[in-house]
Structure 1
């Protein structure tokens, strides 16, 4: 049974316990309510996708309590420093290069070498992230392709008993999602308009690119994506000579996404196992068939892109 609770020390403790166990908590931010999970836990991140019924592994925004915490996971430049000084905590998200040893789940970043990070301004979100001490992945707390929630009741109406705890922080102040700006390019690129206007951003860092274009920062737009350095063969019954075999369900293989055939577990393991198997001394990677329902649709989508050898 879902619980809607006002913020208190007891609720804060309960939320931290749920996050530690790999579960999710719905939390208020100044933009919309978020479905939060431990951003360093692959299985917890996979649970977000499953609960939201998100059809693809679109990157999730990583919420930190301070710029100092964010700098442990992503590489800041002068533009990020200026924008952080001007607008954090607040409704703006930076896309920055992740450190190679970053503890953030690659599932949360959809296998990309970048991360989307922000510092929420809501006191409840701030208190929870500080108490938990790890960043939280937190997309909007609603079913995919439905209206984003701006109150605890909205979350309950959309997700029902899928979420064990909804922390009621009142109606959100901004009511639209954060602005997302890609700071990995020579000219910063606005990926999504939001709570901080383009004019406000330009007043701090100058020219920004507003064009709509496909590419690695807009997942799902490229035919070849998330790809290892060796060929990948899908729907394989068995490996060929020199191939490593990525399995699913009860079978003999080199790596198994989920021996029990659990798609949520498979999603959690996908990017990590692809990286482990990506070796120059092998002929390729063979992948067993994955069911094409639920999270299996997203898994197959990513595998298909990984198997495409040319744009």
Structure 2
């Protein structure tokens, strides 16, 4: 297949590009989209073959399931269960933004993201084009737009160099403003814990709620 590249830097003209992306995702194909951190490779979260295609494009196994991007805060409770108060406070403070929360997934969801062990990693990106797309598609499985082990793409063109025609549509909005992956907080245990440092520092998180650092001992 031949990949298509669309400019989505201007909200007044990105309509046809988003239409193409929405239709592509609905067919179970892949789209690269801009976010506030790095570019992401996206698939319909509720289409297992599409999620597998995402993993294949990255050269990643099912033991590394992709996070899920959402377009609004209320979706949190539709996808996760038993959300701790601290995790909810972090989402309210930093969504949209560079924070990914690992939570217990709703058991009734008809999806297969890989070997998640009953969890889901959720984020709401702070990028207008990404949010516009998510509000039309619903939750998307999204991982950084690169081959595993290579630098994450900070433009759609960089992502295309690595992913090529395994992705049907590339949405280009210029250089990702953040350029750093999101901070990941695990909210499935007895305490909130940083498992990947990224766009948000530990002190910023702790200003909202108690969070353990990545290397701190579990009490």
Query: TM-score higher than 0.5 here?
Result: yes
Pick the aligned partner of 1:100 from 97, 107, 111.
Answer: 107
Q: Are 1:72 and 1:102, in contact at CA under 8 Å, matched by a contact in 2?
A: no
> In 1, distance between residues paired with 2:77 and 2:127?
20
TM-score normalized by the length of structure 1: 0.65
Pick the aligned partner of 1:127 from 110, 128, 132.
Answer: 132
Q: Are 1:187 and 1:209, in contact at CA under 8 Å, matched by a contact in 2?
A: no
- Paired position in structure 2 for 1:11: 17
> In 1, distance between residues paired with 2:213 and 2:161?
37
Deviations 1:51-81 (A, max 9, x none): 1111453021100001101210102221122
SS of equivalent to 2:195: strand
Pick the aligned partner of 1:35 from 35, 41, 50.
Answer: 41
Q: Are 1:49 and 1:57, in contact at CA under 8 Å, matched by a contact in 2?
A: no
> In 2, distance between residues paired with 1:22 and 1:55?
19
- Paired position in structure 2 for 1:210: 214
SS of equivalent to 1:144: coil
- Measure how far apart 1:207 and its partner are: 4.0
Deviations 1:34-54 (A, max 9, x none): 000001111110000111111
Say whether 1:51 aligns with 2:57: yes
> In 2, distance between residues paired with 1:196 and 1:157?
28
- Paired position in structure 2 for 1:112: 117
Which of the pair has the greater relative contact order for Cα pairs under 8 Å at 6+ separation? Answer: 2
How many pairs are equivalent? 210
Say whether 1:86 aligns with 2:93: yes
> In 1, distance between residues paired with 2:212 and 2:158?
34
SS of equivalent to 2:93: helix
> In 2, distance between residues paired with 1:174 and 1:42?
30
- Paired position in structure 1 for 2:11: none
- Paired position in structure 1 for 2:3: 2
> In 2, distance between residues paired with 1:49 and 1:120?
21
> In 2, distance between residues paired with 1:94 and 1:55?
21
- Runs of 4+ in structure 1 deviating by more than 3 angstroms, as ranges, are none
> In 1, distance between residues paired with 2:211 and 2:135?
34
> In 2, distance between residues paired with 1:212 and 1:175?
27
- Paired position in structure 1 for 2:142: 138
Structure 2 gap segments, 5+ residues each:
9-13
- Measure how far apart 1:209 and its partner are: 3.7
Q: Are 1:74 and 1:102, in contact at CA under 8 Å, matched by a contact in 2?
A: no
**Change in CA separation of 1:157 and 1:150 when aligned onto 2, cut-off 3 Å:** same
Say whether 1:200 aligns with 2:207: no
> In 1, distance between residues paired with 2:19 and 2:160?
21
> In 2, distance between residues paired with 1:142 and 1:210?
25
SS of equivalent to 1:205: coil
Structure of higher CA gyration radius: 1
- Measure how far apart 1:164 and its partner are: 1.4
- Measure how far apart 1:21 and its partner are: 0.5
- Measure how far apart 1:202 and its partner are: 0.9
SS of equivalent to 1:67: coil
- Measure how far apart 1:140 and its partner are: 0.8
